[in-house]
């Protein structure tokens, strides 16, 4: 098993731990603790999220970036010399699209209220299946779905790359827009998609510019 695969499995484990601990009671502890503190909705997280949403065009449409990547991959498949780049681009685009789509559809199935909504109501006994849209996190699905496949393709840069989705994960919890378990499930989903669809990026040689043999 490659280091990239182990890295994805590490994210599956981390996401599973967040989801399990959250559902066992830590969700409420974190949400109420943040709400009672001076650390809820910190400016740095709010501003950073807004900036990233603008740069990735998520504000315009959560599906736009993935569709653009898939369209670019289609164009890159035409010349033989860019087919390696096309495979990598298609891999990132498909994972990002599916992660975003599955997170969005799942929200409708579970109907979980957001933490700030539950805190406003004060009723912690009825916040599932009540027309909410917290579980799983769409933001986490969007960003982990984008940066985990990039980390898989560029293992040398995997740690700097995953800082961005983890920033978003912390930001969404800090703002009380999502529970820990919302984030955890989205991480598991995105990492699992990377592992399941990694063959799209094959052959490994020449993901960026095609094989060296073609370029010589």
Residue found by looking up tokens 């669809």 in the block: 197
Whether omega before 191 lies within 30 degrees of 0, making that bond cis, reads no
Task: Calculate helix-pair angle for 138-153, 83-110, nearest 10 degrees.
Answer: 160
- The string of pLDDT tens digits covering residues 26-69 is 999 999 999 999 999 999 999 999 999 999 999 999 999 999 99
Average pLDDT across the chain, whole number? 93
Say what the pTM is. 0.92
Cis-peptide, bond into residue 193, ω within 30° of zero? no
Condensed to tens digits (0 to 9), the pLDDT of residues 116-160 reads 999 999 999 999 999 999 999 999 999 999 999 999 999 999 999
Distance, in Å, from the CA atom of 22 to the CA atom of 103, rounded to the nearest integer, reads 18
pLDDT at 65: 97
For the domain covering 3-209, report its CATH number. Answer: 1.20.144
User: What letters, b where the CB count within 10 A reaches 16 and e where it falls short, cover 10-44?
Assistant: ebbebbeebbebbeeebbeebbeebeeeeebeeee
Per residue in 14-34, pLDDT tens?
999 999 999 999 999 999 999
């Amino acid at each position: 098993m490659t280091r990239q695969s182990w890295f994805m499995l590490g994210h599956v484990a981390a996401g599973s731990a967040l989801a399990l601990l959250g559902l066992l009671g830590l969700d409420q502890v974190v949400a109420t603790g943040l709400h009672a503190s001076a650390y809820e909705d910190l400016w740095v997280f709010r501003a950073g999220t807004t900036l990233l949403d603008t740069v990735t065009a998520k504000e315009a449409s959560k599906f736009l970036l993935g569709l653009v990547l898939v369209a670019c991959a289609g164009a890159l498949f035409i010349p033989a010399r860019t087919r390696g780049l096309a495979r990598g681009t298609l891999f990132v685009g498909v994972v990002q699209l599916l992660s975003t789509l599955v997170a969005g559809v799942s929200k409708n199935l579970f109907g979980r209220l957001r933490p700030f909504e539950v805190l406003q109501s004060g009723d912690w006994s009825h916040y599932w299946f009540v027309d909410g849209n917290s579980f799983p996190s769409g933001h986490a699905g969007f960003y982990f779905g984008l940066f985990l496949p990039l980390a898989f393709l560029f293992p040398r840069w995997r740690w700097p790359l995953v800082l961005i989705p983890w920033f978003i994960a912390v930001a969404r919890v800090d703002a009380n827009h999502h529970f820990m378990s919302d984030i955890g499930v989205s991480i598991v989903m995105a990492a699992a998609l990377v592992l399941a669809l990694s063959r799209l990026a094959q052959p490994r040689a020449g993901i960026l510019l095609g094989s060296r043999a073609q370029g010589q």
